[in-house]
Amino acid sequence: MTDDVVLFDTLPTACGRRFGIATLNVPTALNALSLDMVQALSPMLRDWAQDPGVVGVVLQAAGDKAFCAGGDLRGLYQSMRVHGAEPNPYAHGFFAQEYALDHLIHCYPKPILCWGHGIVMGGGIGLMAGASHRVVTGTSKLAMPEISIGLYPDVGGSWFLRRMPGRVGLFLALTGAPLNAADAIFCGLADVHIPADQRAAVLVALGAARWDDVRGDAGAALSRLLAAHTAPTVAESKLRQHFDTINALVAGDDLLDIAQRLRSISSDDAWLQTASASFAKGSPTSAALAFEMWKRVHRMSLAEVFRLEYRASLGCCAHPDFVEGIRALLIDKDRTPRWTPDTLEHVTPEWIAEHFEARTAAPHPLAALN
C-alpha cells in the first residue's frame, strides 16, 4: 500500500527503450484531480519528454470506477469560503498549474496513451482531451457538468468543445449531457474503443514491440497497435442519433432563444429529457459564461484559451454561484442550489464581464504557454 497520489513506473520494451507509466492513485475519491496530483505529474512528464530512452507515456488510473471524476472541488470550496471575493491564493495556484499541465499534454512531443475507463469528468477530461491516443471502454462515462456547480467547461473545454462537429460542443456546455464511448469518439474526445479487460494485453503489446524499428513514427505505430485491440461499441451514440436536433436546439446567436428551446424539448428520449432538465436546473451565470466563452474563443490559440479560462475561473471563485453549487452538490448535498442571479434573464453583460477581470498581478501566470 502506498500514499502516493500518482504512481510512476516504466515499462521496458523489446528494443530497450521504455514507456513511462503514470497511474492516478486515489480510487476512493474517484481519482479526483488535486493540486498534489498536478504537482506530481507535471515534472515527471517533463522529465520523460526529455529522456531519449522513453518512447511515450501511458496515463491511467487505479480502481475500476473512474479514470478521474473531476477537479478538487472540496479544496476550492474551502478556499472560497475563506477568501470570498478577495484574492484566493489556492485557486490562483490550482488553476494555473492544472491548466499548465493540460497544455503540456496537448503539446507533448511524444505519444501519450490515456486509458479513459469509468467516470471521466471535468478535470479528468482536461487530462484526457490533449493526449495523442485516447482510449474509451464499455464502462466510460464522460461529461462536462460544470453548469450544475456554477462553473463552466474549463480545462481547455472552451477550446475542444468549439471544435466538435456542428454545435454539439455548445449543447454539451449548456446541458452537461453524459457521453458514452460511442459519443466520445463521435465528438472527438476519444480515438478508439477497447474492451476494459484488454488493458493488460495492450500493455503487453507495448512491451513486446521494438519501437526503434517501427514503420513511421512512434505515434503511428501506437495507433496500429491499438487498432489491433479495438472492438465495436455496444451502445450507440446519442450525439450522432440526435445531431440534427441538437444543432437546431442551439442554433443562433441569442442565448435566451436557445434557452427557450432547451427548456421546451419535446422528446420521448430520456437522454434529451435529462439534458433539458439539467440546463433548466443549472446556474444561469454558468450558462451565460459558457456562451460567452463559445463566442470569444473561435479564433484563439490553445494557449490563449487557457489564459482566458484562468481569468474566468478566478472570476467564478469571486462570484457566488461556484461556491454555492459545490455546497449543494458535495457539502450539504441538498441538491437545491440558490443561484445568483436566479434566472438567465437577470444575468447582465456587466455581470459576465466581471468574471473576466484580472485578479492577479502581471505577468499572467500562463504567459509562457505558446
Domains in the chain, CATH or no CATH each: 6-354 (3.90.226.10)
Annotated catalytic, 146? yes
Backbone φ, ψ for residue 231 (5° rounding): -145, 155
Question: Reduced to 3 DSSP states, what percent helix, strand and coil does the chain have, rounded to the nearest 5?
Answer: 50, 10, 40
Report the b/e string of 40-64 with b at 16+ CB within 10 A: bbbeebeebbeeeebbbbbbbbbbe
Q: How far is CA 133 from CA 64, 188, 192, 247, 325, in A?
A: 20, 11, 8, 28, 33
Q: How many residues does the chain have?
A: 370
The pLDDT score that the predictor gives to residue 317 is: 97
User: What's the DSSP call for residue 236?
Assistant: P
* Sequence-ordered list of residues with C-beta below 8 angstroms from that of 280, at least 6 positions apart, any chain: 262, 263
Catalytic residue, from 56, 70, 123, 156: name it.
123
d(CA 219, CA 225): 10
Annotated catalytic, 217? no
The pLDDT score that the predictor gives to residue 1 is: 45
d(CA 99, CA 105): 10
Catalytic residue, from 20, 56, 70, 71: name it.
71
User: Which of helix, strand or coil describes residue 133?
Assistant: strand
Sign of CA dihedral 118, 124, 125, 131: negative
Q: Which helix (H) or strand (E) holds 181?
A: helix 181-187
The pLDDT score that the predictor gives to residue 72 is: 87
Instruction: Supply 309's cell numbers.
Output: 479560462
Q: How far is CA 268 from CA 141, 261, 272, in A?
A: 22, 16, 8
Strand partners, 71: 33
Annotated catalytic, 123? yes
The pLDDT score that the predictor gives to residue 176 is: 98
DSSP 62-130: SSSSEEE--B-HHHHHHHHHHHTTS--HHHHHHHHHHHHHHHHHHT-SS-EEEEE-BEEETHHHHHHHT
Annotated catalytic, 156? no
Contact 196, 117 (CB under 8 A): yes
Catalytic residue, from 154, 191, 309, 324: name it.
154
Q: Residue 263: count other Cβ atoms within 10 Å of its Cβ.
A: 12
Instruction: Supply 2's cell numbers.
Output: 502506498
Instruction: Supply 302's cell numbers.
Output: 490553445
pLDDT in tens, the chain (370 residues): 467 999 999 999 999 999 999 999 999 999 999 999 999 999 999 999 999 999 999 999 999 999 999 998 999 999 999 998 888 999 999 999 999 999 999 999 999 999 999 999 999 999 999 999 999 999 999 999 999 999 999 999 999 999 999 999 999 999 999 999 999 999 999 999 999 999 999 999 999 999 987 666 999 999 999 999 999 998 999 999 999 999 999 999 999 999 999 999 989 999 999 999 999 999 999 999 999 999 999 999 999 999 999 999 999 999 999 999 999 999 999 999 999 999 999 999 999 999 999 998 889 999 999 9
d(CA 218, CA 42): 22
Catalytic residue, from 72, 98, 146, 191: name it.
146
| Number of alpha carbons in the 13 Å side-chain half-sphere of residue 115 | 25
Is the peptide bond preceding residue 43 cis, with omega within 30 degrees of 0? no
